[in-house]
Amino acid sequence: MFSLPPLLWMQAFESAARTLSFTAAGLELGVSQAAISQRIRLLEDRLGQKLFVRHPRSLSLTPAGQAWLPSLQEAFARLDEGTREVFGGVTEALVTLRATPMIQQSWLALRLPGFQHAYPAISLRLISAIWPGDFGPEGADLEIRYGHGDWDGVEAVSLGEETMLPVCAPALAETIHKPEDMAGQTLLHAPGFAVGWPTWWERIGLPGFESCCAALSCDSQMMTLALAARNGGIALSHHRLLEQRDDLVAPLDLAVASDESFWLVRPKRGQPHQEASRLWDWLVEHC
């Protein structure tokens, strides 16, 4: 049988690979950055392959590290699940929820205080994810994902149909009375959504009109909305993310439906613990 590396080394790798930071991994595991670095180096020596590429100010995973990480995270998740089934959960009623920073700030922040008031004994931990690859079975009881709801190995409940519409600062909104008034303005683009600016213009009957506007591309929707709120252009926003915001206005009542939406997700494998089920039910009820 292949001799597995020590568990502490594998924990160090999983944490550092997930956060792409030896410092963050050290904080998570309660050891120094130097200790994480040493464990990773010993692990790489043991496996005979590099797991990380060390850049001057950042880390990235090697192909070997990328290939091994999902298996390791699945193993940790199964170990945690088996421990819960045999010995019960930890004494602290902790529920971990993973979602993008945007949905945390614009949607969850409006609902979690009510849940905490109703269930003060349940502790919550929020984990941020930005890219689709940030989501997975490890480390979270529940997730809020964006897509079509067709992920393998999970139960998914839609949080409702979604539409996309242009938003901008109130002062700029006063100058926009019809779509053509957006000519010459800066359109703020974010990746990862089926309905982007080209699709929006096409759906409202002005295909290609984005060529009449300046463009600024960001790597997250959070940044496009932040720029839009500061009069830096016009962003496309999900209608759901505009709840109780007074710094962004939709100048036109031209929302375009998307076949993608936000979904509340939990693993199918194993029995969810009671606290996670209560948060699940609460969010479904208050979506």
pLDDT, tens only, 218-265: 988 889 999 999 999 999 999 888 887 889 999 999 999 998 999 999
- 126 in Cβ contact with 99 (< 8 Å): yes
- Higher pLDDT pick, 269 / 281: 281
What is the rounded CA–CA span in Å between residue 14 and residue 12? 6
Determine the straight-line distance between the first and last CA of the chain, rounded to whole angstroms. Answer: 49
Residue 36 token pair: 């994480």
Residue written as tokens 């984005």? 210
What is the rounded CA–CA span in Å between residue 282 and residue 118? 10
The phi and psi torsions of 246 (rounded to 5 degrees) equal -110, 0
Percent of the chain with pLDDT over 90: 57
What is the rounded CA–CA span in Å between residue 9 and residue 128? 24
**What pLDDT score was predicted for residue 133?**
61
**What pLDDT score was predicted for residue 277?**
92
**What pLDDT score was predicted for residue 91?**
47
Farthest-apart Cα atoms in the chain, separation: 71
Question: pTM score, two decimals?
Answer: 0.64
- 12 in Cβ contact with 69 (< 8 Å): no
Residue 219 token pair: 């790597």
User: What is the pLDDT confidence band of residue 1, given thresholds at 50, 70 and 90?
Assistant: very low
- How far lies 164's CA from each of 60, 131, 148, 208, 239, in Å? 33, 19, 15, 18, 6
Q: What value does the mean pLDDT take over residues 163-182? A: 96
The DSSP secondary-structure symbol of 196 reads -
Note the pLDDT tens digit of each residue in 174-217.
999 999 999 999 999 988 788 899 999 999 999 999 999 999 99
Note the pLDDT tens digit of each residue in 6-16.
999 999 999 99
**What pLDDT score was predicted for residue 88?**
62
In this model, does residue 64 exceed pLDDT 80? yes
**What pLDDT score was predicted for residue 189?**
94
Residue 212 token pair: 């009449």
**What pLDDT score was predicted for residue 256?**
94
Classify 189 as helix, strand or coil: strand
Q: What value does the mean pLDDT take over residues 85-96? A: 69
**What pLDDT score was predicted for residue 57?**
81
Note the pLDDT tens digit of each residue in 104-155.
988 998 899 999 999 988 999 888 876 666 566 556 889 999 999 998 888 9
Q: What value does the mean pLDDT take over residues 40-53? A: 94
**What pLDDT score was predicted for residue 48?**
92
